[in-house]
Every structure is written in C-alpha cells, then in structure tokens.
Amino acid sequence: MIRFEHVTKRYADGTTAVDDLSFEVAEGELVTLVGPSGCGKTTTMKMVNRLVEPTSGRVLVDGRDVTATDPVELRRRIGYVIQQVGLFPHRTVLENTATVPRLLGTGRAAAHARAAELLDLVGLDPRTFGDRYPDQLSGGQRQRVGVARALAADPPVLLMDEPFGAVDPVVRERLQSEFLKLQSRMRKTVLFVTHDLEEAVRLGDRMAVYGHGRIEQLDTPATVLGAPATPYVADFVGADRALRRLSVTPVEEAHLDRPPVVRLDDPLPRDGARAVVLDADGRPYGWLPGAAEAAREHGTTREHGTAPGHGTAPGQDTARRPRTVREGARPMEARVPLGGSLREAFSAMLRYDAGWIAVVDPDGDGRYLGVLTPERLHEALRRSVGGVTPR
Ligand SMILES: Nc1ncnc2c1ncn2[C@@H]1O[C@H](COP(=O)(O)OP(=O)(O)OP(=O)(O)O)[C@@H](O)[C@H]1O
C-alpha cells in the first residue's frame, strides 16, 4: 500500500511540482496518474522510491515512512519501469532480467531460472531471446524485458513511468493487454504514469487526473468519464468522453440474447430458426441459418444457376443442400469474453461485419454464454453513454 500525506515538492529553483498531495493506492490496486506534461506526475512517483525527497509531508509504503528506509533497500523492494528501459547493453536479456535477484544474493542458476520464467510470462521465449543483447530487440520487446526485470524480485509495489510510451500504438495496445492479464494474476500495488488518456482509462482500477501539482479527481475511469468532478477534468477527458466510456463499460449477462443452440453432430433441424452451433466442448463453432433463410438462399442459387463448381444437372441442388449441422454451419468469428468492453464488442461487430457476436466465458476454455445482437449492443451503448434507457 502506498500513501501520500500532505506531500509537497518544491525544487531548488522554486518550482512547486507537487502541492499538498494526499491519496492512497490500496494493496493490489493499479492507479494511473494522467495529466498534461509538467503537472507533477513523475515527481509524485519518484518520491515513492526516494529518487526525489518531499519538501514536506510523508510518503508511506506498507505503513513505513520511506524516508526512514534505506534508499537502496527500498528500491530493491519496489519495481521501477521507465520508458527508456535502461537495460545494460553488454548483458544478455537473461542477465538483465536476473539483475535484482543477483544483487539480493540469489545464486546464478536460480536467478537465471527465475528470469527465464519471467521472460516467458511477459511473452518472450527465453530460448529465443535469453541470449540476445538489448540492441538485438525491437522497442516493444525491450519494454517487455523492462517489465520482466522489474518483476524479478517479486516486489509488492511497482512504479511504472510511461512504460509503453516508446512503442507504436498497435504494440502499445498489445503490451497493455498483456500487462492487464499479468496484473490480474499478480495483483501488485501499482502507480502508473501516463500522458495517454486511453491508457489511463484502460489500465486503471482508479485514475488520478492531475492539474498543476494537484489531483483534480481520483476515481474509477467510468466515474471520471461519466461525472467529471471539475470543468478542468471535463475539458481534459474531452467532449468524446461518452465514447471513451465504451472502453470501460463491460458486456454483461443482461445484454445477452439466447437463440436456439444446436450441436455440431445434431441432425439438421428442418423448420428451425437461426441457431448457434456449439462444438463438443460447448464452445461456439458457428451459426446456422434459419430454414426460411436457407430456402431463400437456395432459391436464389437455383434461379441463377451460377454456384461455382456446380453444373445444372437435376438433383444437384438437393445434393448441395446441407444435411447435417456440421455441413450447414457458417463460421462465427466475432466473439468477446463476458466482461470484455462494449468497445471491443462493437469493433468485433464491425470487423467481421457480424450479425451476432458470440459471448464466451472469460475464464478457462471459452465456453459459449450467449450472443450479442446489433439491437442489444445498441441498447447497451445508449445506456452506457447516458442516453435514454429503452423500455
Ligand atoms: N529537478 C528538477 N528541478 C527543477 N524543476 C523540476 C525538476 N524536475 C521536474 N521539475 C519541474 O517540476 C514540474 C513537474 O515535473 P514532472 O516531471 O513531475 O511532471 P510530469 O507530469 O511527470 O511531466 P511529463 O509528463 O512531461 O513527464 C515541471 O514544471 C518540471 O519542470
């Protein structure tokens, strides 16, 4: 747990970087600090591991005033990830990752084994990357090593200062997703500085919006976006905050439709409605057009007689018509986990031009739970951005 009590930092030249700051990051919580350049985010963070000392007030980590702790020992207990990752150029990726455990006295073999585990955890195969040097990695890979290295001593507290700042938006989004997955397992206490509002919204259990040296609002992303506390925050989160809310509004049970379900090995229902097709493990496999829909399509094919690879010999139409669910099933690629964001669902719907999105169990094996239709998605979107609740 990290606690700031009336902390002020005035630099020697008189700049007040942080002004009477009080807030707390609970154990296992990830708080993002977001705000314009120069508003004191980095200074706040550096006061936790004593790279900067407060002018007044106290910073406590796990109840202990950091100024009463030896800075070297403190920094070993607090993982620190920065944008310019600061890897040692003449050490391999594995050696870089094992740095802190080695400093803490762990034997070489054990430290390397742990480092290999961590590299794996952040998505770098230690057999491929372990023996490389930092300049043989891409920017995104270096960032991952930075995260792995910060985790190596298993610190309860992580400070992350624009850790994904140096990579392009696509890689950044992937690193964010992976980090979220990791955090849901590790539950570290994290202070995460970013310029990027999307990132702050996506990653934070809570987000602190900074004005000059002060926090203007500290709350869940949904609340900051939905009910900005001050005109400054409203301005900062922008006019399109309603849209941003989509990123933080989860797909819920109540949004789901439950059309008929058939199994892959079932016989084809004759007069059925459109159905969802599940495989033997209860995962979505595809969808089956309703009888009327299928007949319409076959009618069209017969009329034009142009289906590729088929002649016009009598009886072929019947042969072409599927007889089992497996033959008749069409792919259903668009899927989101329950609890995934409406934004994710919306973008899957657009990407696959899909009428149905399969909603699956987020834990384990992707079991089918229901579908999200365009109508239900629309309804959920309207509710999320504060529109009229449909009756
Ligand atoms: N060592 C220093 N001496 C004097 N002023 C400093 C020092 N470090 C930072 N500042 C000033 O303190 C203020 C806050 O800086 P800080 O780096 O904490 O902001 P930030 O919000 O992290 O900015 P950015 O997003 O640009 O990194 C700025 O006005 C900065 O110029």
User: Among candidates 29, 18, 22, which has minimal Cα distance to 3?
Assistant: 22
Mutate-to-test residue for ligand 1 from 9, 39, 44, highest number of ligand atoms within 8 A of CB: 39
Mutate-to-test residue for ligand 1 from 7, 15, 47, highest number of ligand atoms within 8 A of CB: 15
What distance in Å separates the CA atoms of residue 349 and residue 336, rounded to the nearest whole number? Answer: 10
What distance in Å separates the CA atoms of residue 185 and residue 178, rounded to the nearest whole number? Answer: 11
SS3 call for 330: strand
- Alpha helices (runs of H) in the chain, residue ranges in sequence order: 41-46, 71-77, 93-97, 99-103, 108-121, 126-129, 139-151, 169-186, 197-203, 221-226, 231-237, 241-248, 291-304, 316-320, 325-328, 342-351, 374-384
Tokens of 361: 């169990």
Domain boundary among 185, 213, 248: 248
User: Quick check: 320 pLDDT over 70?
Assistant: no
Same domain for 272 and 158?
Answer: no
Is pLDDT larger for residue 280 or for residue 364? Answer: 280
Q: Which protein residue's CA is at the shortest distance from atom 24 of ligand 1?
A: 37
Q: Please tell me the distance between residue 310's alpha carbon and the centre of ligand 1 in angstroms.
A: 71
Mean pLDDT of the chain: 84
Domain boundary among 232, 248, 264: 248
Is 53's C-beta closer than 6 angstroms to any atom of ligand 1?
no
Q: Please tell me the distance between residue 38's alpha carbon and the centre of ligand 1 in angstroms.
A: 5
Same domain for 278 and 233?
Answer: no
Is 194's C-beta closer than 6 angstroms to any atom of ligand 1?
no
Give the CATH number for residue 290: 3.10.580.10
pLDDT digits (tens, 9 = 90+) for 7-38: 999 999 999 999 999 999 999 999 999 998 88
Tokens of 227: 């009910």
Instruction: Give the pTM.
Output: 0.71
Give the CATH number for residue 197: 3.40.50.300
pLDDT digits (tens, 9 = 90+) for 66-111: 999 998 888 888 988 887 767 888 999 999 999 888 887 888 999 9
Mean local confidence (pLDDT), 259-270 = 85
Q: Please tell me the distance between residue 206's alpha carbon and the centre of ligand 1 in angstroms.
A: 23
Is 318's C-beta closer than 6 angstroms to any atom of ligand 1?
no
pLDDT digits (tens, 9 = 90+) for 289-316: 877 777 777 665 443 333 333 333 444 4
Is 38's C-beta closer than 6 angstroms to any atom of ligand 1?
yes
Give the atom of ligand 1 at the shortest distance from the alpha carbon of 193.
22
Q: Which residues contact 321 (CB under 8 A, 6 or more apart)?
A: 294, 298
Give the atom of ligand 1 at the shortest distance from the alpha carbon of 44.
18
**Would you say how long the chain is, in residues?**
391
Q: Please tell me the distance between residue 238's alpha carbon and the centre of ligand 1 in angstroms.
A: 24
Is 355's C-beta closer than 6 angstroms to any atom of ligand 1?
no
Q: Which domain holds residue 75?
A: 2-248
Same domain for 216 and 314?
Answer: no
pLDDT digits (tens, 9 = 90+) for 96-150: 999 888 887 888 999 999 899 889 888 889 999 999 999 998 888 888 898 888 8
Domain boundary among 219, 248, 277: 248
Give a yes or no: residue 391 inside a domain: no
Is 36's C-beta closer than 6 angstroms to any atom of ligand 1?
no
Same domain for 266 and 189?
Answer: no
What distance in Å separates the CA atoms of residue 235 and residue 228, rounded to the nearest whole number? Answer: 9
User: Quick check: 317 pLDDT over 70?
Assistant: no
Is 250's C-beta closer than 6 angstroms to any atom of ligand 1?
no
User: Quick check: 360 pLDDT over 50?
Assistant: yes
Same domain for 347 and 376?
Answer: yes
Q: Please tell me the distance between residue 190's alpha carbon and the centre of ligand 1 in angstroms.
A: 21
Structural domains in the chain (count): 2
Mean local confidence (pLDDT), 34-62 = 94
